[in-house]
Amino acid sequence: MKPGEIDEVLRETLEDGRLSRGEKKAISALFAEHLDSHERIDMARHRAFAVARERLERRADKELLDWLEEVVKAITIASRGEAPELAEAHFSPGEHCLRRILSLLRSAQREIDVCVFTITDDRITRELLAAHGRGVTVRIISDDDKTYDRGSDILELHGAGIPVRIDDSEYHMHHKFALFDRAVLVTGSYNWTRSAAKNNEENIIVSSDVRLLAQFGKEFDDLWSRFQPV
């Protein structure tokens, strides 16, 4: 797409001062198809600001900035090649939570960051090992006490070459979240254990919201820098 074509698309969405859900999906799909390099993505962002600047004197500041924020999100979605919106909830007992976690482990292409209280479900452990084996960067943060519990798979994962870090505290590292390619977040009450799938009332939320991804990504990075390797 040429700059003029990008401007025309953006101006059409700005007519009413807001980017609707349908418009967001449409331009995400359009940009994903035509913006095939980092340079073109950067150009699209630049054109969005240029179009906003044109209207600055004719639009209320807040309204304009809201539109601009949604456009930049849509461009970011296009650059990642991910679905515009991912918002799911899964519940146990039953295997709904487990199956969703396994599918994300299998589909990860670059990196998996896991921050969970404990891992004792061998089905999850096998997929973590498989991801590591196919070259995906896997990192695990877990609780120091639970790491050495009978049935814990943390030391097995560490022994296979997956980096593991744990807290050194009288309290617990009680998070249960994971990031897949820094594009999908899983979080909730669900422990990565067989009992969570079989017996417990648990939940996970699956989201691609960029704001949540940024916040959980920062939390993982902060804990990783603070905690000690196994």
- Rounded mean pLDDT of 114-124? 97
Pair of tokens at residue 9: 């698309």
Exposed / middle / buried, residue 44 (Cβ in 10 Å: 0-12, 13-18, 19+): buried
Higher local confidence (pLDDT), 108 or 148: 108
CA distance to 46, 126, 203, per residue, from 49 (Å)? 5, 46, 40
Q: What is the pLDDT of residue 136?
A: 97
**161 φ/ψ sector (left φ>0, alpha ψ -120 to 50, else beta):** left
Q: What is the pLDDT of residue 61?
A: 65
- Rounded mean pLDDT of 13-33? 79
Q: Tell me: the pLDDT tens digits for 38-65?
A: 667 777 777 887 777 777 665 556 677 6
Q: Which residues form the catalytic set? A: 174, 176, 181
Q: Is 15 helix (H, G, I), strand (E, B) or coil?
A: coil
pLDDT-derived band at 85, boundaries 50, 70, 90: confident
